[in-house]
Amino acid sequence: MSENTLSVAKEIKEGRYMMIDGIPCRVVQIDISKSGKHGSAKMRIVGIGVFDGQKKIALTPGDADVQVPAIERRRVQVLSVSGNTANVMDAENYEVYDIEIPPEVTGVETGKELEVMECMGRKKVERMR
């Protein structure tokens, strides 16, 4: 898995991902104040945590570096389902592990494929394929 990369804050767009307070977040809103007499434009970036769903806010100069998380999307096949947990196998490296099924993903059953987001050693089911 690759490491987080750096990007200039003013290049971040809504719908992309960035690290806010050490948590990978999906950017949902960006407010930019105009540059003033004493420096560059300031940015207020609002993000929603990928794994916890919490709202995070970053205040930064537009020309500052921000961290962008390395996010991988993988296909997995469901081997079995028990309650809200599925035992799945990665389609690429054949790794088998258990993963929690979020309430918004419905119809998960043996033999189906899921799309899983992996970032910073954590995994989350995104959707059915």
Distance CA 25, CA 9 (A): 14
Task: Give the Cβ contact number of residue 11 at 10 Å.
Answer: 10
Supply the pLDDT for residue 2.
55
What domains are there in the chain, each with its CATH number? 5-68 (2.30.30.30), 72-128 (2.40.50.140)
Supply the pLDDT for residue 1.
46
Beta bridge partners of 15: none
Supply the pLDDT for residue 31.
94
Beta bridge partners of 44: 31, 59
Unique residue bearing structure tokens 């389609």: 91
Distance CA 78, CA 96 (A): 10
Per the document, the length of the chain is 129
From first to last of its 129 residues, what are the pLDDT tens digits of the chain?
457 788 888 899 999 999 999 999 999 999 998 877 777 789 999 999 999 999 999 999 988 899 999 999 999 999 999 989 999 999 899 999 999 999 888 888 899 999 999 998 899 999 988
